[in-house]
Amino acid sequence: MNRIFSGMQPTRQLHLGNYLGALRNWVALQDQYECVFCVVDLHALTISQEPEVLRNNIREVTAAYIAAGIDPEKNILFNQSFVPAHSELAWILSCYTPLGWLNRMTQFKEKAGKQKDQANLGLYSYPVLMAADILLYKATHVPVGEDQKQHLELARDIAGAFNRHYGQDYFPLPEPQILGEATRVMSLRDGRKKMSKSDESEYSRINMTDDADTIAQKIRKAKTDPEPLPDTVEALEARPEADNLVTIYAALAGETREKVLASFAGAQFSSFKTSLVDLSVAKLAPITRRMNELLADKGEIDRLLRRGGERATALAERHLVEIKDIIGLLRP
């Protein structure tokens, strides 16, 4: 039995990195797997959130999933806080997780910065909650962008530690699925920095809610170098901004970078950018339009999330009872 679990945080708007690195792959995978797609609202609490903004972002991420092509009937689509078993399993798993494993997490180090003592406990134990998300559904596959690789390795380690402790293969070791050309989309302002929701520059990312004019402006302003496009992928290695734009084009067009270079080798960036704007708008505008239609009926989004939450609960509760039996906790 193969099952997928994946999720996104409802912190600010989703961007092109979230779409190309993860969401678009989910859409393709939903026909081959039983899928559980989650809006991980509890993870979002690791940074300060305004209640009304958070509520809207949860709905917006849900709308983005559906607008991109996730079928809420075929798949289980819900928000994490609806299912208390996520928090419960996170506690249980934290008791099998040595601190040394968490101390290695590079994302915590980046996010906590120099003032580690000021960082909250949630940020530190974030990867344990993520492991709980995945293991609660006994997921075998987790489609994510490259930046989640280390968290996935930790989830595998925690699953292995639990299995070894009780001498049985209860949890499958979840496999990361890091797929496609754009597994790490970079900032439009700096080709060595990841495109991220937390970058203070709006020009660093294309949001899934950006209109055609905004997309065009951001791509035209994107940092490049003065050379024309090369004819080999190797020649992109020392040119991170050029590489990023070619990668974005390839991912949106469903082609390889080689194929894109075969068409654009020798072109100036000004003309390549015009083609990239056209392609981006053609691919993203229908999704944005659908998102806005869905967001016009918040009641319907909430209803969909509730129904998905009930389906998720049924599966989660069944597994949690099994886990409690293994550990020696009494059943409710």
- State the catalytic residues: 111, 194, 197
* 3-state class (DSSP) for residue 38: strand
Q: What is the spatial distance between Cα 45 and Cα 31, in angstroms, rounded to a whole number? A: 32
Q: What is the spatial distance between Cα 32 and Cα 29, in angstroms, rounded to a whole number? A: 5
Q: What is the spatial distance between Cα 201 and Cα 195, in angstroms, rounded to a whole number? A: 10
Indicate the residue whose CB is closest to ligand TYM. 21
Give the tokens for residue 286.
């229908």
Count of residues in the chain: 332
Least CB distance to ligand TYM at residue 182 (A): 6
CB 305 within 8 A of CB 80: no
**Which residues bind to ligand TYM, rule: CB under 6 A?**
5-9, 17-18, 21-22, 40, 43, 130, 133-134, 142, 144-145, 147-148, 151, 183-185, 194-195
Residue 81: DSSP 8-state: G
Q: What is the spatial distance between Cα 238 and Cα 260, in angstroms, rounded to a whole number? A: 18
CA distances 95 to 35, 89, 99, 302, Å, are 28, 10, 10, 34
Query: What letter represents residue 218's amino acid?
Result: K
* 3-state class (DSSP) for residue 324: helix
Least CB distance to ligand TYM at residue 143 (A): 7
